[in-house]
Amino acid sequence: MAVHDISALESGASSVERVPLSRRDAILTSIDRALGHLVEIPAALLVVAEVIILFIGVVARYGFHRPLIWSDELSSILFLWLAMLGSAVAFRRGEHMRMTALVASVGPRMWAFLDVVGTCAALAFLLMIVAPSFEYAYEESYITTPALQIANSFRAAALPVGISLMIVFALLRLVRYGQVRTVLTALGTVVAIIGLFWLAEPLLRTLGNLNLIIFFVGVVALCVFAGVPIAFGFGLAIFGYMALTTHTPMMVLVGRMDEGMSHLILLSVPLFVFLGLLIEMTGMARAMVAFLASLLGHVRGGLHYVLIGAMYLVSGISGSKAADMAAVAPVLFPEMKARGAKPGDLVALLSATGAQTETIPPSLVLITIGSVTGVSISALFTGGLLPGVVLAITLGVLVWWRYRGEDLSHVKRASGRDIFKAFIVSVPAIALPFVIRAAVVEGVATATEVSTIGIVYAVLAGLLIYRQFDWNRLKPMLVDTACLSGAILLIIGTATGMAWGLTQSGFSRSLAAAMTGLPGGGATFIAVSIVAFVILGSVLEGIPAIVLFGPLLFPIARLVGVHEVHYAMVVILAMGIGLFAPPFGVGYYAACAIGRVDPAEGIRPILGYLLALLIGLIIVAIFPWISIGFL
């Protein structure tokens, strides 16, 4: 089972926990199904609306030189609705990502119990945040959008609506669960833990920044390893920290979640997810894989090298690692699985390539560093190419080692004629990444809009060239897009809340002060920076981390004699390793969601890839020429 579906787990434990279906159960199931359709249909339509609005904006601006000033604003309004409705769909389906490494080893009965605990924990967070979300939406009614001149509450209302829908789905799931004792025990467990924290509030308020470890390490670890969905584990940690150790209104947390989920550049996530599904459905994926396989299929680990190279090529075109992975994985994973690759190893390598390609332009992290630190963006773009190559080589060496004994006796080496024929067929598919990158570089479309060009290109190629376009699959694909995107975006939203909590605690200032006084000059500063940003990367997205710490640490780098472009590459790669390192790295769970693989399956394989990335990072750190040699 690639992604643990909570309802499926319940079915799997039927011999232990379920009772025969009653009339009440049938009614509740019908209600759940009807409500699910009512959520899925608008979620699917929102994906279509976003594609149309953004593509029309590109045509109007670039084709007719008459930009639509309202297109980005309307897209932003609809995007938050897409994220929240998608989260509700994912909750109903049980497709919010969670770690099951420990849960899977405790036996069916305990697994079923912890499964219900996960639902109760998610419900607890939703119930605690629903009132502040309504308050936040009401406060936003006083703000008028600049272009459309409508109250911002039309956008912000997506938060309480989505949260309320998830509460309803959680309650339906608990009521439908056959064993009342299990549900009551799980509810009692969650309430007892929350009650203990509430009683400890006077003590917690005296502990200062020790609370960061208690909540952001302890609570998150407890939730993650108990199988609570990652987004809700993060949410419980930041809610507990803010409610029990600060006097901050909870409406602020909702605002930070809004900020994290509705950043317009993240709109590329659902659009690239949909593009990946289109590439598969239209036959473009098969054409591309057939050509790549004809070139490297006879080489041991050949398609793994292709995955590394493909991520290098498409990286940065969307501004989001999740979107980059969503564009590549559906193309390569099916054939790689057919050749015997294990899903856990595939998602581990996908995560590793996400970290590997963080410095490759055009990268929003590079642009952000330039904007907040004053470093030349063109220098950062030039300096970012070779570090990605170095990490690609270290990953390639590990792929060679792991697959040096791969049995390819069943794989026939393609002839030159076969390779040429496969190339001709695949040209429209292979051209897609270059079309997308050219559209960004030439200014035809922004990093957000460019995915719509890819979607239109894929639709036309499927209809006119490959003649494969299954209209019956369109609705399920749109719903799957909304579902997967909602699961990813809710994790980003709660992680953004955690990032805000770190900032408000004064941790960033304390970190900068400590690093300024380090002995050993630039070498020690870089070494400590690597450790610090690996840790920070596990709880922060790249852009928020750079905004928080870039203005503090880059001046220190200059003082200790470290070239700022070199330091930028080291920091970005270290942060990328943290971002994709389990058990806390958000990017790892995004990769698992995109690959539809249980996170537990990728834990062991990714350790080797993380070591390879770390070796590559150390090489980049020791030899500044790799980053600044072509400046």
Evaluate if residue 6 carries a pLDDT over 60.
no
Which domain covers residue 42, as residue numbers? 6-262
Q: Residue 185 and residue 192: Cα distance in Å, rounded?
A: 10
If one counts every other C-beta atom within 10 angstroms of the C-beta of residue 10, the result is: 21
In a domain? residue 363: no
Cis peptide before 42 (omega within 30 of 0): no
Evaluate if residue 618 carries a pLDDT over 60.
yes
Residues 521 and 559 sit within 8 Å (Cβ to Cβ): no
Residues 381 and 367 sit within 8 Å (Cβ to Cβ): no
Q: Per-residue pLDDT averaged across 474-479, rounded?
A: 91
The pLDDT value given to residue 147: 86
pLDDT in tens, 494-551: 888 887 887 788 776 676 677 767 777 788 889 988 988 888 777 655 666 676 677 7
pLDDT in tens, 48-67: 999 999 999 889 988 888 88
Per-residue confidence band for 441, with pLDDT thresholds at 50, 70 and 90: low
In a domain? residue 555: no
The pLDDT value given to residue 68: 86
In a domain? residue 162: yes
Q: Per-residue pLDDT averaged across 112-125, rounded?
A: 92
Cis peptide before 362 (omega within 30 of 0): yes
Q: What is the count of structural domains for the chain?
A: 1
| Residue at 149: amino acid letter | Q
Burial-class residue 21 by CB neighbours within 10 Å (0-12, 13-18, 19+): exposed
Lowest mean pLDDT among 154-168, 256-270, 467-481: 256-270
Residues 537 and 578 sit within 8 Å (Cβ to Cβ): yes
Evaluate if residue 476 carries a pLDDT over 60.
yes
Per-residue confidence band for 613, with pLDDT thresholds at 50, 70 and 90: very high
pLDDT in tens, 478-499: 998 899 889 888 988 888 888 7
In a domain? residue 221: yes
Residues 596 and 551 sit within 8 Å (Cβ to Cβ): no
Q: Residue 410 and residue 459: Cα distance in Å, rounded?
A: 35
In a domain? residue 97: yes
Rounded percentage of the chain residues whose pLDDT exceeds 90: 30
Evaluate if residue 328 carries a pLDDT over 90.
no
pLDDT in tens, 182-225: 899 999 999 999 999 999 999 999 988 889 889 988 998 888 88
In a domain? residue 213: yes
In a domain? residue 540: no
In a domain? residue 582: no
Q: Per-residue pLDDT averaged across 551-557, rounded?
A: 81
Average pLDDT, the chain: 83
The pLDDT value given to residue 362: 61
Strand-pairing partners, residue 144, are: 151
pLDDT in tens, 144-167: 988 888 999 999 999 999 999 999
Q: Residue 315 and residue 268: Cα distance in Å, rounded?
A: 13
Q: Per-residue pLDDT averaged across 110-116, rounded?
A: 86
The pLDDT value given to residue 154: 93
Stated pTM of the model: 0.77
More confident residue, 205 or 335: 205
